[in-house]
Structures are given as C-alpha cells and as structure tokens.
Amino acid sequence: MTDPTAVLVLEDGRTFTGLAFGAQGSTVGEIVFNTGMTGYQETLTDPSYHRQIVVMTAPHIGNTGVNEEDPESTRIWVAGYVVRDPAIRPSSWRSTRTLADGLADEGVVGISDIDTRALTRHLRERGVMRGGIFSGPALLDSSGRRRAEQDLLDEVTSAPAMSGADLAGEVTIAEPYTVEPVRGPASGAEPVATVVALDLGIKSMTPQRLAERGVRTHVLPATATTEQVLALEPDGVFFSNGPGDPAAAVHEIELLRDVLDRRIPFFGICYGNQLLGRALGFGTYKLTYGHRGVNQPVLDRRTRKVEITAHNHGFAVDAPIEGESTAPHEDGRYGRVVVSHVALNDQVVEGLECLDRPAFSVQYHPEAAAGPHDAGYLFDRFVELMAASTTTEENP
C-alpha cells in the first residue's frame, strides 16, 4: 500500500506534514491562500491560478463534489491544492465524482489534514512565496528512503518566481470563438453590441454575462494583433483576468494603447485592470499576500456603495488614490484618470476610470463565478459606454 503521507515545504524552510489528497507526486509553485467559503470548483478551473498552489482557508472542502456545469475553463489550472478537512463524500445531487477523484483524474497534487490556519497566518506575516507538495514516490530517493528536507527545499527554491512571469500565452485559447447573445425569449437575438474579448485567462462566465445583456463576444487569443481586433469591427474591447506579472505583458499593453488611441470603449477586469494601469503609464507592484476569495469589500466611489466582491490577484496598480490625476504615459496623452474603486481592507486600487477616453476597469471579478453578484452592474456600465460612444460618433 502506498504511504499516504504528504509534505508541504515552503521557500523559507517551514514544513507541514499531512495526507496526500488528489494525485500523488510532486508540484511546485507560488503558494497563496483563498478566503472563499464556497466556489472551490470555479477556483480550481480559474486560469488566473496557473502556477499557483492554492490554500483554502475554509476548513471543510469538497462537500458538493465535482460536476460538469461549474468549471470556468476546460481544465484545472492550480499547480497544487491544500485543504484541512476534505469531505468524506459529496452531498449534492449535481455531483458526478468526488473532489479527490477530480484532482487525481487531472494529475493535481494536493495535501490535506494540515493546520491551514497556521499556514495562512504564516503567509500573511511573511508574504506569498514558493512552495512544493511532495507525496508518494516523490517523497523517496533512489534507494527508497525518505528524501531529506533540504533536498525538497532545493526543488522548491529552483522553481521560477511569479515576478516577471509572462503567463497569459500559456493559458489562452488556441483558436478564436464567438458567444452569441441570449437575451430575450430565444438565443440568437440581434446583438446590441459587438465586443472583442482578449483571452488572458478568461473565465467562461464572463462572455456569458455579456451575452445575457445582448452582446455578441468574439474571444481572441492573447497574441491577437490590432488588425485582427479591428477586423471584427468591435463596439468595445474587453481584457480578461489572467495569471502573471503585468509588467511582462508588453504585447498586450501595446494592443491596449492602440485601442485607447482609437477611442474604442474598453473594459478590463483583474489582469485587464493592471494592464490598463500600465498602458496609462502607472506602475504596478506585487502585494504581500494578495486578495483571493469571494468576500472582499470594495467601495464604488461613483455611487458610494460598498460591494462584496470576488478577487484573485497578487499585483496591483500604483496610482494616486485621491482626486483626478493625469495619465503619465507620453506626457498625459490619455488625459485625466480617477481611481474609481478602492479596497476597504487595505486601500488598494480596485478600479480605474478614464475621464477623457471611453475606458474603465476593475481589479475584481464581476462575473460572480463563484461569488456575490454585487458587481454585475459593471457589465451594464460597459454596454452603456458602448451605446454612448456610438451615439457620439453618429452625432459629432
């Protein structure tokens, strides 16, 4: 019988010993924690978690199993998975298999039965870092003995860091596809607008939310050119969530500047928010431990309403919080900008709005997969922005 032991090794040398969960073997990546109490299947299949080991702070995970309806992409993207108390059996009529089987089927190495509270506190104090999970044969050396902790640590520290990583090309689609409107009594209705969405790690619910508002969405790979975008005659352009360091996304930032130059309405979320910030000339920086979960409070400064929102980001935009500022790129070429949304826990920039260009973005996930629906109005705001832009063109 295979030894069920699994070991989690952090970059700073701290270790946790538990039980193998999902596939056995080894995996390394940046280790982060997610504070959501639900939506674990959407988390697992979110491409933004590419090359990250996810720690769930909620203690009991897996009670609804895995189904074929909730995934946000075609596969599980997390590099590894850490839980405290996995469910013995699923208790949902929608479940088709257990979470453990779902992880094992896709080769995702996990660990359970460790103190995730202590681990989360450690990451909050020290910051996110590289980590590795080792179980089964990966815990043994060539002679069959348990590998030394230093050997495991060396494997962890040899893994690439997230800073400087350009990862959108590793998660984007190979071929474009189109999502048609579904508003009204039947699908296939005439679209109210046409949007080109750049897939930087897009979740399937995002074009669905646009379709519910009567929008036709053409989803293009992250490598799409300006010419390919313009060929579809979009009323608006959308940049999705995704993994990696926004400072490394040179191609995407140049494409976004082409969009801004042509005054095509733009909406970005998460990674797309960071790329708008950089296109405008602001910097970005790595957060100590990031925002990940479905319970993050954000203030919409336009309405003064507080939203509970879904987050998954480790980088943020460095822009002036108070008042209007001039976008630094090329001596203010893009005009005035305001920070439209702010995180109430730590005052991190959670949204940008251009006052002289038809463009805005938020740092969180308004598609609510998984998560609350407080921010759904942002898709309506995008539709309104496109409609206003069309009216302006017709009546200059």
Contact yes or no for 33/311 (Cβ under 8 A): no
Strand partners, 267: 238, 360
pLDDT tens per residue across span 12-27: 999 999 999 999 999 9
Token reading at 78: 């997390």
Topology of the domain covering 5-157: Glucose Oxidase; domain 1 (3.50.30)
Q: Hey, is 317 helix, strand or coil? A: strand
The reported pLDDT for the residue numbered 188 is 60
- The domains of the chain are located at 5-157, 168-394
**pLDDT per residue as tens digits for the range 163-216:** 999 999 999 999 999 999 986 554 566 899 999 999 999 999 999 999 999 999
DSSP strands (E only) in the chain? 5-10, 15-22, 26-34, 52-56, 60-61, 80-82, 85-86, 109-112, 129-135, 177-179, 193-199, 215-221, 236-239, 266-269, 283-300, 305-318, 324-326, 336-343, 349-354, 359-362
Per-residue burial over 300-312, b if 16 or more Cβ lie within 10 Å, else e, is bbeeeeebebbbb
Q: For position 391, what pLDDT does the model report?
A: 59
CB of 167 closer than 8 Å to CB of 244: yes
274 is in an annotated binding site: yes
Query: What are 128-139's pLDDT values in tens digits?
Result: 999 999 999 999
Instruction: Determine whether the annotation assigns residue 242 to a binding site.
Output: yes
**Residue numbers annotated as active site:** 270, 365, 367
Confidence of residue 3 (pLDDT cuts 50, 70, 90): confident
CA distance 241 to 243: 7
Does 312 appear as a known binding residue? yes
Give the tens place of pLDDT for each residue, 80-131: 999 999 999 999 999 999 999 999 999 999 999 999 999 999 999 999 999 9
Q: In the prediction, which pLDDT does 389 show?
A: 86
d(CA 151, CA 326): 51
The whole-model pTM stands at 0.95
What's the confidence (pLDDT) of residue 394? 54
Among 14-23, 138-147, 222-231, name the one with the lowest average pLDDT: 138-147
Q: Distance (Å, rounded) from C-alpha 291 to C-alpha 123?
A: 12
Report the pLDDT averaged over residues 138-145: 92
Strand runs labelled E in 24-82: 26-34, 52-56, 60-61, 80-82
33 is in an annotated binding site: no
315 known ligand binder: yes
Query: Is 347 marked within a binding site?
Result: no
The answer to whether 10 and 125 have CB atoms below 8 angstroms apart is no
Distance of CA 68 to the CA centre of its chain: 20
At a CB cut-off of 8 Å and minimum separation 6, what does 233 contact? 194
Class of 168-394 in CATH: alpha beta
DSSP 23: B
